[in-house]
Structure 1
Amino acid sequence: MQRTRLLSSALRARRAVRHVLVLVAVALLAAGCAPKKNLPPIQPAEACPVPSGATATAAEPEEVVELPIPPADDGVPLTPQEWAALNSTGELDKNLSPEARRDVELHFKYFTHRARGTFERYLKRSQNYLPHIREVFRQQGIPEEIAYLAIVESGFNPNAVSPAGAVGVWQFMPYTGMRYGLSYSWWMDERRDPYKSARAAADYLQKLYGDFGDWHLAMAAYNAGEGKISRALEGTGAEGFFDLRAKNHMLDGKAQLKDETRQYVPRFIAVAKIMRNLESLGFQAPDYSCPPKLEQLRVKPGTDLMALAQAMGQNWSDFSANNPAFRRYISPPDAHTTVYVHPMHLEAATAFLAKPQQRSYAGWRVYKVRQGDTLDRIGKRCGVPVSVLKRVNKASGKLQVGQELMIPGGGDATDFTAQAETPASKSAASAKGGKAVADKQDKSDKSDRSSSVRTRDIAERRATYIVKQGDTLYGIAKAQGSSVETLQKANGLSGIALQLGQKLYIPDAGAEATAIARQEAEAANKAIVASASRGGAERAATPVAVATASKSAGAKPAASQAAAPSGRAIVYKVQEGDTMWAIARKFNVPPKELLRWNNLERDAQLKPGDQITVHAAQ
């Protein structure tokens, strides 16, 4: 994943003050003002770094600092226990070269000395998630120590966000997350779901291992991208990650691996050595035998999550801690979703979900239409896309003065806590008739807008694309951070052939805009067909380009419904050692589709002789 190092100006100032204090202290000691007994020299407190440049949410601002790559040697000799830990080996850190070992030692000393407090915080977080990640990796046949990559990526922080837009424990970019089943929309961002994202990370790492046949290269590709590593291997003829590092000088300019990628695997190896020697290194090892147990409940489309939280006696901050994927107080109105609840709240949650008609609409606001209002103006004022307002209110473009609109509440995940710390009792007391009434003043309406609202405004203005010579549906989808299937549904397309001048609608990442976009696109494209029949038939009949089936197969977002099987059906007999993932790769089909065609769960166990149906591309 791509990283950018940041240094907060406030922290820079704080660090400068600390250095001044150190100089003052040294001067006082020189003047004889120090106590008579010998004391260790005063050291400035170290700021806490976030791993690999990932920035934490506002709750942990101290983690937004510059992290040297590699860290400088602090000059402190290793203790015998530290030497023993550094010399320990596992499946992934044998036979290191002297240069690789030096870099591993620098990261090892950094996390055990200067950033020890940071590493302890990561350990505390790991208690909630590491057992689940290990189990997922075990099921996928991935070495369990690779679960420690989550420390390198985010420090097990579900809300970690990089400046490049990577999010969550596993730092997925939107497009990559959607490729591996993590839905991303105005309503929710499953990259923040620590459980689903662990599955996606396992699938991605498994795919990368299949590409390169080497776990070190797979991890490097997770950081830099498979294309970057593939080109670097081709340009150097290297046979492994550390060989590639040594030959990096053979590459030109942008083709070279960045320092971050060159240090990514050494940092992981250092973390793995620490994790397998926690007690001897003086860390308090978390109790992984009893991870927090959460119950999964399936909720209907459009469920009022704020009201659900209140029914369980929680404020939004408590609910969001277990369900960081939800970006609004309402679940997506077009899909069933999963919420995680503590067993002690299971009965209350189940009772609430069984009687949705009694919900208090705590997550909604009521807006009364005024003279001159339009859906566009209301949407911008309240920070809600017009397509969402139309969908949840079944509204057309015409509004009546005095008409009441339901406005889904909640801002982006990064400002959930600030918006919703109000306890349930206070929220209920301020509601009128079970509904939270919107402030009628324009001034307060405008104060609700955030930078995220402006981003959505820009995104909506860029929702149209005109097909050019050489375009493919796959290429357009990739460039727009969408998928082939999403564009097909939004534009009423049955295939992947395009025509010059064709207008494509690029829906919001959420599916709420799809129905409207489809209607508009169908109308626009009928005009192209009509024009072709009046003299432009030659142009209309000639597709611009056709994307290969293998390219379009892997870009299916989880939120969209599965398409009907295409291609000829093949019955494959399972061989010794086969897995569903391996069979999917063999036939170049998405693993999720292979499971769907055979009505199997993803953890299904195969036996030699089992028959698997595959719809191979024609």
Structure 2
Amino acid sequence: MIKKFVGGLSLILSLFIGMQSVMAQKIKVSETMYFAGVKLQLSKSLQAELKKEAEQLHRGGVYFDQKLQRIYAYMPVIEEVMKEEGLPEDFKYLPIQESSLIGDAVSSSNAVGFWQFKKPTALEVGMRVDGSVDERMSITGATKGAANYLKKHNRYLDNWVHTLLSYYAGLGGVKRHINNKYKGAKSMKVDTKLHWYVKKTLAHKIAFESYLENIPPQKYYLKTYNRGSGKTMRQVAYELKIDEDILKDYNLWLKKGRVPTGKTYTFVYPIEGPSRALDRLSPAYAHNDGNVPAEIKDYPAWRRVGDRVKKINGIRGIVAQRGEDISDLATIGKVSEIKFIKYNDIPAHRLVHEGEIFYFKRKKRKAPKGVDFHIAQYGETMWDVAQHYGIKLKSLLKKNRMHEFDPLKPGRKLFLRDTRASRQAIEYVEVEEPQKQAPQAKQEWKPLPAPEEKSAGGEAEKEYNSPKSEEVVVEQVPEEKPQSSPKKVSRAETEPSASTSTYHTVVKGETYYGISRKYQLSVEDLLALNGLAENAPLSIGQQLKVKNGGVTAKPKLISSDKIHKVQKGETMYKISKQYGVSVEDILKWNNKKDASLSIGEELKILSSLTQ
């Protein structure tokens, strides 16, 4: 069922290489496009309108990132159901448009779920909606219902573009907006008079089609489970060896009690994927362009409960340090990565920045008593504010009547406990804009030489996407300490000579892949030269050996086999951390296609030492 996960490395990098404006510039709308097998010939003005709308959909910073992660997770399931139901694949963009793939989304007209069904229509197409079950919140149940609805309409309209509009206007209402000459047509000429709902769906296809051509490797993907009839959520969670709260988050359709009998209801649940490649992508993908979070004024005090663990709003949390990642922080908090990701409203592969706040338990719906408002500062996002006050991002957005893609303007007064009244105007307060540091003169930088050789380096390159040719200073690493701890450097990308350099100093934004390309190495050779595991994090200022006497060194392996017997509650990732190896290695050594485990299963562990 789960497909299209392994794409080319060039695609993976292209999704996360820069700022939103760069992404928007890549959108091209040709004069011809297809929707559900219907050829659409677009006027010039309509091409421009669709391009603008698609570019708007690419904006939103961390919210766009989160939407993209939901799309990557749910889309393989949606595509499979649509294929089984015989619905054209292009309709997969409709739930993105309707709900941003948020299972419990509710519209102002009381439409609910992934496909935004009102209760009467949901019942009409065979979904169950009552106090025990609401299939509108089931990704499989709602998709089947939508397929039934659309196929029924197309039998009358005989045109999938008109059928698309009927999803909004209904079978009776759509007749006022369509031309009967296109009934049964396989080609249509359209211009800006095309109904706005159809234009919006076409814009979603343009905006997200390239992302879905090859879904990049994911930390977690969704599997389905159909044998829950008559069982409780707890019983299903036990069978799947997954935390019950996590299972609930992905299956909001089961409101209470047991799964009804007499019909198949499908659970979806996350399972660790075989690839963790996104861990090492450029920090340009992280929210706020990788900047240190803005300082929050009137910040509630932390209460210390341990060495690093503290409490705010009654919730255990931690302030991230340099070089830490999601796995490190989840381990400190003694929670699974899946829980950690859900608790902190972040994508699975998100990079961690020094100074950011993360929690080990679910955040609350409101701020502590006495903390009623927050004034937005320059550089802040709604995610920053939610984290600083220990509030669920979703709750914070609702209290301020904001959508996830709405920008946060400096000076806005944000409600932290109550909900802003619908007729109450948004208030703004004047806030001081931080002063920008003037650029300094450039000085030559050389990579650190190895003890036995001299190295040659190039000049520091301009910061990626810098609007001007600003010159920056890179702090030089002392030569007498080739293996010193990482030193702080400025945001500049170095360009050492690939032919003669022996050591490379890591700067902000670099990846193993980018460094290996500079020195004409494979990623595997680069890791082997430095005795690093595949998932080892990069730190700014870290010294990497990139040449060994002109010849790439191959590691000498000293190995011995171990057998690990899987215990209750263990995951593939937990086992990999226990033995200091990667999940991919365990899968390869045991000829496993995925990371699923059974209690008592024996796994072969190859213990290797690089010399």
For the aligned pair, the TM-score class normalised by the smaller chain equals 0.3 to 0.5
In the superposition, the TM-score normalised over structure 1's length comes to 0.35
In the superposition, the TM-score normalised over structure 2's length comes to 0.36
**More helix per residue:** 1
